[in-house]
Chain A
């Protein structure tokens, strides 16, 4: 009887227990919060379009990781410090992610700068591929076929763009499309044909004219196609593509060089492709601004009190010296360019670098005090990525640091000069001269204005007391192919200085060793008088010799390690 009551009680109690606790399996269902699914995105054009927008957004290299990923800055200025255009600047130990060692050719595969660049470009690839997947899904559900085609075409352009960024850095990189599920592909294949295929496909799907300045259309894709073919050494193919861009008549050099670097005028007839920055747009960190470019601003003492990186070299300053005919001199380092009217220089020098005694846009006179350390930075501040006083400003850690200045990715002048290179190689030297002269003639249109304004003045304006400016077109026919090539390359340096092209140009031209060695030999003898003390730029003494392996950067060691042996490290690292 006792046992019976026990069993009954137990049964009753168990039932009660299960009832009170018996919420069942459904209890564990928790709907995902604060996020949406790919299913929802693929059900409308605006959802797919939004994925495309985020693919464009990666142009600024912002990766959501801890700290600041300077290495993924869109202008590549960190890597460009290995060229003869700029010093790394700041202080030697202010060395974000291997930046100082990159400038000194003490390269290690472990530098975070490489990892950050790698992750940023492949995030761009990922977003492009996600967009294509969503667009295909949207098409299956009856989405507008034309719009789907256009979105996929834009995504393919961007996929080619990001892969090409990786190619410029490392050359030997893997290619991923929307069908890939294995992310440890080997890097043993030339990806150029795939990029060309993507762009050709994009060109067929893109509109003739973009609906918004930030987007790409057929001619933008042709410009990139030409650039990729140029890097691959296909001058004929590149010329064909660039000709399409020029013949479209859509682009024209703006009158004043500086208009490309002033926020109010930066989107203009010369804009082929640019990262469209914005500030105070709802992001409290200013991430969509010149976020990763901001180290390249003058130091304490200047209005910006910033970081003092990316200082143009004396070698670059000297290269703006012109002869009596307003043409570049061959032995530019024979005379040191200083702030004086006794030396005639190309007016682009004072749009490119801040020189003491010269007005720094509308921020007053540049001063030596803006330089963080002359012993390793020289005496010049970067200038192209500085806003004007009145431009809106975002929340940087110092004043004047964050703003909405675009990063020029492909400017029409760049296209003209790339085309000029092709013309030289295919033998049309006069056509090359014509193109170079377009650029030079424009350069003669305006110069930095005086400290009390206006911002721009004619190059012979009476208020200019710090220099004598002159820049003239090449007057005589070009007949020598080698000489013509030299002149085109020189023009490219002068026109595009500090815009992130130089290191990659030196590499593709095959003149990295001699150029950098010559530059170092000169630059390390330069003595600046700072506060009564003679300071030599001596840290170049510690630089490693330039060797063939330096034609590519080392792949990030983390990625090599995580690839299951499939990513082969570049030779020599």
Chain B
């Protein structure tokens, strides 16, 4: 019965001891609270359960409290320790020993349709301490997981509201590697995870191996993150408030790297042109002129620079005039100290038969980039009811509205890249003084003069984008009913849904200051909605036989349907920039430029699953899981797949021969084996699809200039046409684990060693180009197999120095080794699908190659063999475009020429290991924590060097490189050197880093006992995030996000370790308060 109640109260770490109330007189109870080693504990909160009566222990750990009756229950709480409830039972002295929070024997874990004691689980599960994460300032809870649990890595940028890649045990798929999030039972695969307020999270578990994850079968291949949100507790209605105010800056700015001084820039330019014997740009001939751009009509010749100009001829559009800048610090111009405000309030409580929790919050996060930001408003209501003795019903409901303003593209065209492209001699504004309707100056300087590159003014870009907003409304919830058929047998039906609607609008302005300036004002807008529902029905049976056999059986049936529909439109040539007419209305622009399109699709899953758990004497555990999934994304013949898993474990410490030892309080050996699946490919993958847009298939066959005749072409080739069958991707994992608690539970060690072999990997690897341009748009096929081997180690130690000083140290270390075992089809390698890039000799896609025997997305290029020092050396090797002072590539096949045959695997983005270190320290009412994470041995392909070293498009360069160029092994600045810039080891750098992720000092304000009826807890804290980083990496931030690279945001793991100048992480200082009433 108690177990069943637990299942009902899914989310609770605590449970109520249901003690029959006996009427009695009020009485006084006193006692002493000690820690696990017997040391008295001051400042422990003591509360009479279900009442507002409370107190705290004194300096000697003693307390005294009045209780209403003999049956009262006392609740003892202290940060870092498990909440302990003790029934008074008529006693007048109640001494209590608190135990540290991570209590392996009683911790409850939600493992898919069930709640289990962690102690009973044979698989690899990491329970993340949500309290540690709570105060971290991020727009998504997923970003908080970085380094917090063994085997979990997180990649995200500093862009507010940006996508987050969470990876469990590395990369095991070519396509989607996102874990499955189960939020109150709702399956979500979303890189954003922005709808959930992190404050609402009660528990968070990471299921890493198939014996726990495979009950989710489909989509569980990448691990499962199970989240439950806050539920009320019977008793006093509790009001919680959390608030924080933060200030953020980037961990590093481009001004730490680039030239910001005009004279240095000029000197650099002279070297660049001079070393190639090329004429200097006009602005560099006689020192910097006063004006660098005048008179766009050039009627008098080549007047692009001058020391005198008639400023009265200035016109913002037809004759912009700008003064040469003595050195514009563009990074400084576009960034700011950003404010982040996060407020959350929660009301919870209830009775034995009905509990509720209502939470509401706002997060308002400014971007470190000006005019960029993120906002989220959300409200959540959860409740549960008992009706009679057999029926329980409940619901969860969360509404979130979020908006991202001016989210910068993280690509060459994005604002971040303009910073290293634009010259410091360009001023932010031209000589104009016009202001817009909001009072901002709006006539800008830019790269209009020849030879100043093609950069856009990054400040102007941000400014003009300040009203470009993407808004999403998300409603997510569930309703369930649970009925006890007979003792131990329970039926549960659970309906879960998620609804999204989104709108984005984008206005593009004229850019008269740009080299290739945009002359029209255009507007585009998109609307869409999506829905997802899941209906699960399960039967569970629990039986304990003769006090030593525990049997639990689960059987279930589940259906899922997702669909989406969206519409996009655009209209060009708006006659004004006023946001009041940002509508697609032909009257506001050129009617014949209007374009509208819509799209939609659906996918479904149908599943049956079952699980048996058996344990004997709490010593021997066995579980078996099987799930059969069908997915609409495969052709009817290949829709279904079966995913079995088995696990055993042995609690060695429970054996009689261990009874006499006291070193180990728990010692458990676990082993599991199982399969999981992946079906995350596009809908209708199997079918040929014909269609075509005006742009891709229509043609003015009649010679008309303004209309095109309808055409159709094959837009997607299905697997069937190619004679292929595509089926589920399957991962088989073997996991062996060891759980150790020793030294009176002061030291906990969890070690898991695993091998995960993924077969029939799904990827839409390019077909030969002879197939046409659809080749890169090929259908998903079962392409390859891959192995990940590794271990996850977690060690926690808790202790005390003296009576007042408590400390804890937690270390997690993970390592995986990824190897591609086989690539099916015609070659033993494949490239990721294309994105735009500039390195001449390689598609950027071919830099990250996937080849048998190597790790996924290894880097490929030439090996560097020093520098060409003399003309004579140039003659030794046929290296097209090579210059004296340029890089000499290694002729691997000794044929005297540099060509494709000399390309080699030159690096890997995969780390040797990653780690996280948590340190906690408390003294009386103070507590201090620090969190360090890092990565060792990974390499980064620093694509930005194409700009900061090789001056793609006359970009600005790294100051360090400018000072060193032509010395040592640094190639010389040279406009004619087209060879050195090709993909080579020169771009590959050690990306190892160590970062202080979080450091916090908190103070639990001691409250007079007379306040306890009002405020029961008050904590203030100050916190720093990402305060320092130790790295040799020369780029902006070694903690790279790949979440926004690649096609469709799904294929970005193939871009791991590829630095295109992403939005750097934020350094944040936070002041926070949390209070309970």
Contact = CB atoms under 8 A, between A and B. Distances in A.
A9 B846 contact: no
Contact of B1047 (A66, A282, A569): A66
Contacts of B606: 23, 25, 27-28
B604 interface: yes
Contact of A64 (B299, B773, B842, B880): B773
B716 interface: yes
A66 B834 contact: yes
Interface stretch (A240-248, A337-345, A503-511, A535-543): A535-543
A98 to B, nearest CB: 5
Interface string B718-756: 000001000000000000000000000000000000000
B595 interface: yes
B99 to A, nearest CB: 38
B689 A35 contact: yes
Contacts of B556: 17
A50 B842 CA distance: 36
A218 interface: no
B700 A277 contact: yes
B301 A531 contact: yes
B827 A283 contact: no
B684 A94 contact: no
A154 B571 CA distance: 36
Interface residues of B, number: 143
B773 A109 contact: no
Contacts of A54: 692, 696-699, 711-713
Given A6-B486, A17-B557, A127-B713, A95 B698 contact: no
B1053 to A, nearest CB: 18
Interface stretch (B161-169, B932-940, B949-957): B949-957
Contact of A57 (B570, B699, B716): B699
Contact of B771 (A56, A64, A65, A126): A126
Interface stretch (A220-228, A297-305, A313-321): A297-305
A28 B628 CA distance: 14
Interface stretch (B27-35, B385-393, B972-980): B972-980
Interface stretch (A117-125, A253-261, A457-465, A482-490): A117-125
Contacts of B298: 301, 367-370
A456 to B, nearest CB: 20
Interface string B964-986: 00000000000110110010000
A176 B453 CA distance: 43
Contact of B697 (A53, A400, A539, A563): A53
Given A54-B712, A57-B698, A404-B706, A368 B835 contact: no
B516 A398 contact: yes
A334 interface: no
Nearest to B273: A375
A111 interface: yes
B263 interface: no
Given A66-B834, A281-B698, A397-B516, A9 B632 contact: no
Chain A CB count within 10 A is highest, among B280, B603, B701, B769, for: B769
A32 B125 CA distance: 39
Contact of B450 (A27, A372, A400, A573): A372
A478 B279 CA distance: 47
B881 A278 contact: no
Contact of A23 (B559, B687, B701): B559
A104 B978 contact: yes
Interface in A547-563: 556-563
A108 B558 CA distance: 55
Contact of B454 (A64, A94, A120): A94
A47 B711 CA distance: 8
A219 to B, nearest CB: 17
Contacts of A111: 840-841
B704 interface: yes
Contact of B834 (A29, A65, A372): A65
A522 to B, nearest CB: 18
A267 B769 contact: no
A122 B771 contact: yes
Interface string B575-590: 0000000000000001
Interface stretch (B189-197, B329-337, B774-782): B774-782
B880 A101 contact: yes
B207 interface: no
B772 A122 contact: yes
B631 interface: yes
B285 interface: yes
Contact of A95 (B517, B695, B711, B840): B840
A364 B299 CA distance: 10
Contact of A106 (B281, B698, B880): B880
Contacts of A65: 773, 776, 834
Interface string A281-304: 111110110000000000111000
A300 to B, nearest CB: 6
B278 interface: yes
B530 interface: no
B711 A57 contact: yes
Contacts of B278: 375-376, 538-539
B703 A62 contact: no
A179 interface: no
Contacts of A109: 899-900
Contact of B279 (A184, A288, A536, A562): A536
A130 B711 CA distance: 13
A249 interface: no
A101 B978 contact: yes
A562 B827 CA distance: 6
B595 A283 contact: yes
Interface in A43-85: 47, 50-54, 56-57, 59, 62-67
Nearest to A356: B301
Nearest to A110: B841
B596 to A, nearest CB: 9
A56 to B, nearest CB: 5
B302 A530 contact: yes
A368 B303 CA distance: 9
Interface in B670-686: 683-684
Given A122-B769, A301-B298, A365-B299, A93 B950 contact: yes
Contacts of B692: 54
Contacts of B775: 119
A267 B703 contact: yes
Nearest to A210: B701
A263 B705 contact: yes
B978 A288 contact: no
B637 to A, nearest CB: 12
A94 to B, nearest CB: 6
A66 B836 contact: yes
A390 interface: no
B592 interface: yes
B527 interface: no
B639 interface: yes
Contact of A562 (B687, B691, B707, B766): B766
What 4 A-B pairs are tightest by C-beta distance, nearest first? Answer: A369-B298, A287-B695, A21-B557, A399-B519
Interface of A: 5-6, 9-10, 12-14, 16-18, 20-23, 25, 27-30, 32-38, 40-41, 47, 50-54, 56-57, 59, 62-67, 91-95, 97-98, 100-101, 104-112, 115, 118-120, 122-127, 130, 174, 176, 181, 183-185, 212-215, 263, 267, 276-285, 287-288, 299-301, 305-307, 356, 364-365, 367-376, 392, 394-395, 397-400, 404, 530-531, 533-536, 538-539, 541-542, 544, 556-564, 569, 573
7 contacts: A53-B699, A91-B451, A101-B881, A119-B769, A278-B708, A288-B695, A369-B302
Interface of B: 276-282, 285, 296-299, 301-305, 448-451, 453-454, 485-486, 489, 491, 493, 515-520, 522, 524, 535, 537-539, 541, 555-559, 570, 572-573, 590, 592-595, 598-606, 630-632, 636, 639, 683-684, 687-716, 723, 766-777, 826-827, 829, 831, 834-836, 838, 840-843, 846, 880-881, 883, 899-900, 950-955, 975-976, 978-979, 982, 1047
